[in-house]
Amino acid sequence: MKRRLLALSLAMVGAFFAGCEDTSTNTPVTFIPAPPSNPMALSLSDTSVRLKWTPSPSESNTAFKGYLIKATSGSRTFVTDTIPAGQTIVDLLGLDANKIYTFTIVACTKDTVSSSISIEWAGAKRFRGIRAYETASTNGSGIRLSDGANLTIANGTQWDVCLDTRTDGGQDNWAFGSPQASTYTDTLGYFIRGAQAGQKAKDTWVFCDSTSQGPVPYFVVADSLEAVFESRALGTGKMQNVQIMLENLQNQNRSVVFYVKTAEGNFAKILLKAVGGSVLQGAAPNRYVEIDYSFQTAVNVPYALRQGIAPVDNPRIVKIGTRSQR
């Protein structure tokens, strides 16, 4: 369900907390609905956000009317019309780009509202069908996330993410992720050969889980970006200062979603597609991976809550294959 947000007057703000419909009666309040729970969100574009929540347990009550959503950013406040019972996924359109909003959700009757739940979120620009080509290709193996440009090694210092299909110990090891963690660069993240030899690749963080074997890229198996909602800041509870690649993609037969932060401080949520049971598409020597992604063009604005996001001047490198670390 798509909802275009409406600007609120002060009177309408008051009505938001008074109930789903304004009323002039003095009927005694007999029922206050229980609130919804578990607010989650994802960014559809730089001006639209999709919200999701667990329904109020009061939906079965005959007095229950639905839900209201208020969106606030700075001094600007917007509100939806009443969202009927049973509807718990809503697209909010017409937001300001590069702004963090607080979305507040309540359940309501004609005269009363529940306590509220809320989540902070920001829209993000969407890119689709962006390709990075295998190492042997004359096409680009790297992607600049800010505009989706496919770049060759001659512009390797502009890569935010790259595809690496060199063999590791005589075995295939297809990998995608941080350029400094690839075999295009040495253990300190400097390009080894070509026009960029001696130049340092960008610092790109891939959010990871911490395990007994060290950091492991955090990803979710999903068929689309829209299938993955989040409820907290990107990276919260995850290691954030790791440059690493998703490896052994030759064994990955499903699409996955993972998260990165660029050297400039931009957050991205990336879908690495698998088609026909394989991540690598096309024919050699021009095989490729294809990604869709959401990219936050505002610096240091994650998609959700901001706590837990800290800059790292010298993020650690976990090299492909050898797993050597700086």
Q: DSSP readout, 258-323?
A: EEEE-TTS-EEEEEE--BTTBSSBS-TTS-EEEEEEEE--STT--SS--TT----SS-EEB-TTT-
What is the reported pTM? Answer: 0.87
* Res 143 pLDDT > 50: yes
* Res 326 pLDDT > 90: no
CA distances in angstroms from 110 to 7, 67, 79, 116, 283, listed in the order given: 22, 11, 17, 16, 62
pLDDT at 231: 72
Backbone angles phi, psi at 316, to 5 degrees: -65, 145
pLDDT at 239: 66
* Res 299 pLDDT > 50: yes
Minimum mean pLDDT range among 103-112, 155-164, 312-321: 312-321
Distance CA 84, CA 137 (A): 53
Return the closest-CA partner of residue 289 out of 256, 244, 317, 260. Answer: 256
* Res 271 pLDDT > 80: yes
* Res 48 pLDDT > 70: yes
Q: Determine contact, residues 95/48, Cβ cutoff 8 Å.
A: yes
* Res 185 pLDDT > 90: yes
Does the CA dihedral 271-273-274-278 come out positive or negative?
Answer: negative
Residue 78 pLDDT grade (very low, low, confident, very high; cuts 50, 70, 90)? confident
* Res 29 pLDDT > 90: no
| Long-range contacts of the stretch 163-172 (C-beta < 8 A, 24+) | 163/132, 163/133, 163/134, 163/135, 163/288, 163/289, 164/135, 164/245, 164/320, 165/134, 165/135, 165/136, 165/280, 165/287, 166/135, 168/320, 168/321, 169/321, 172/250
Please give the domain boundaries of the chain with CATH numbers for all domains: 2-122 (2.60.40.10), 125-317 (no CATH)
